[in-house]
């Protein structure tokens, strides 16, 4: 158990140490000099860092919204209906997340340019949603399977309309699935580098794009600090989401 914690947390600890390291050369086991250069950099470039984080956040959220839009109704259908070729359809719909991203994104790039979607936040959110919606679809299918269809029949018999059913029954019961799906889609979109670079063309700020040159440089201290920041946001999100959904759930149920 202790071994487990050590193995998985040690790399992060090293990153933290590197963030405060000045010169740390072979074969020292701890940095030769330490300084707060990384923190100074954060403060001096705070605006830029926040803009990039915010931009990544923005297109990731839109990607989540899009994925819900794509997946909600089809998930309901696929969770209940049974027809010939259902497995085929389901598999096909899940394919974009299974196959390598480059296979379809590089091909469609030119169309994005012609449609004016390249170099825009929406274009980036769009392409990210294409390869991440399967996670939401899968989550929602499982989620729908936990809702007994009779509950909906009951509600309809009592006079509830489509939107009312959706808002008051389905969505609350789907909340765990929605949370799970949203977390994955958000994480995938937020961490992505290639698609944002391809479709964003440098015009759409992204934290991954901001971080990238540092990873290739010899400035491991700054790179470590910025990487930790990169990891922090999704982790925080997961924690917040987990807490709020659990609290909401307990209130509603």
Partner 1 sequence: MKPYYKLLPALLPFVLFFAGGIVLTVLQSLGMMNPLVHYTSMWTAYKIVLTHSHFLVSILFSFYVALVSSTIATVLGTLLAYTMWKLPLRLHAKTVVYKIPLVLPHIAVAFITMIFLSRSGVFSSLCYHLGITATMEAFPNLIFSRYGVGEIIAYSIKETSFVALMAVSVLMKFDKRYLQTARQLGAGEIRIFFSVVLPHLKETLTTTFLILFIYSFGAFEIPYILGNSSPGMLSLQVYDYYFKHDLSQRPVAMALLVILFLVSSLLAYLYFKISNKLDKGGM
Partner 2 sequence: MIFCVVLFLFSCQAQSPEQVPLNYDKALKQARGTSVNFYMWGGSATINAWVDGYVAHSLKDKFDITLNRVPMDASVFVNKLLTEKQAGKKKGAIDLMWINGENFKNAREADLLHGPVANKLPSVTHYIDAKSVAFDFGFPVENYEVPYGKAQFVFIYDAAKIPTPPNSFASLKTWIMENPGKFTYPQPPDFTGSAFIRQVFYATTGGHEQYMNGFDEQLYVEKSKAFWAYLKEINPYLWQKADAYPKDIAALDLLFERGEVTLNMSYHQANASNKIMEGKYPDTVRTFVMSGGSIYNTHFTAIAFNSPNIAGAMVTADFLASPAAQLSKNTPKNWGDFTVLDMAKLDDKSKKAFAELDLGVATLPLDVLNQHGVPEIPAAYLTRLEADWLRIILGKK
Enumerate residues 205-224 that contact partner 2 by CB under 8 A: 209, 213-214, 216-219, 222
Q: Does 186 bind partner 1 (CB under 8 A)?
A: no
Q: Closest distance between partner 1 and the C-beta of residue 222, in Å?
A: 12
From 7, 107, 114, 163, residue interacting with partner 2 (rule: CB under 8 A): 114
Q: Does 41 bind partner 1 (CB under 8 A)?
A: no
Enumerate residues 173-202 that contact partner 2 by CB under 8 A: 201-202
Q: Which is nearer to partner 2, 48 or 247 (CB)?
A: 48
Q: Does 215 bind partner 1 (CB under 8 A)?
A: yes
Please state, in angstroms and rounded to a whole number, the distance separating the CA atoms of residues 121 and 192.
Answer: 14
Q: Closest distance between partner 1 and the C-beta of residue 77, in Å?
A: 4
Please state, in angstroms and rounded to a whole number, the distance separating the CA atoms of residues 195 and 102.
Answer: 8
Could you say which of partner 1, partner 2, none residue 81 binds, taking C-beta under 5 to 8 angstroms by partner kind?
A: partner 1
From 34, 65, 229, 241, residue interacting with partner 2 (rule: CB under 8 A): 65
Could you say which of partner 1, partner 2, none residue 202 binds, taking C-beta under 5 to 8 angstroms by partner kind?
A: partner 2
Instruction: Determine phi and psi for 147, rounding to 5 degrees.
Output: -90, 120
Q: Which is nearer to partner 2, 66 or 147 (CB)?
A: 66
Residue numbers of the site for partner 2 (CB under 8 A)? 22-23, 25-26, 33, 45, 48, 58-59, 62, 65, 69, 109-110, 113-114, 116, 119-122, 125, 201-203, 209, 213-214, 216-219, 222
């Amino acid at each position: 158990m202790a071994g487990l914690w050590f193995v998985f947390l040690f790399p992060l600890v090293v990153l933290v140490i590197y963030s405060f390291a000045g010169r740390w050369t072979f074969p020292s086991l701890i940095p030769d000099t330490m300084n707060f250069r990384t923190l100074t950099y954060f403060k001096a470039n705070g605006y830029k860092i926040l803009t990039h984080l915010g931009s990544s956040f923005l297109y990731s959220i839109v990607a989540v919204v899009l994925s819900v839009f794509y997946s909600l109704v089809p998930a309901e259908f696929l969770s209940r209906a049974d027809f010939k070729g259902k497995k085929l359809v389901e598999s096909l719909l899940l394919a974009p997340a299974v196959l390598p991203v480059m296979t379809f994104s590089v091909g469609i790039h030119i169309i994005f340019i012609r449609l004016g979607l390249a170099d825009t936040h929406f274009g980036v959110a769009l392409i990210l949603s294409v390869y991440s919606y399967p996670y939401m679809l899968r989550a929602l299918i499982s989620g729908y399977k936990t809702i007994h269809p009779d509950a909906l029949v009951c509600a309809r018999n009592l006079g509830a309309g489509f939107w009312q059913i959706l808002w008051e029954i389905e969505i609350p019961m789907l909340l765990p699935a929605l949370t799970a799906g949203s977390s994955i889609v958000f994480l995938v979109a937020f961490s992505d580098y290639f698609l944002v670079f391809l479709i964003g063309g440098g015009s759409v700020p992204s934290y991954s794009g901001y971080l990238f040159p540092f990873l290739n440089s010899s400035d491991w201290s700054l790179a470590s600090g910025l990487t930790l920041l990169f990891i922090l946001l999704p982790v925080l999100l997961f924690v917040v989401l987990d807490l709020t959904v659990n609290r909401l759930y307990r209130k509603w149920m």
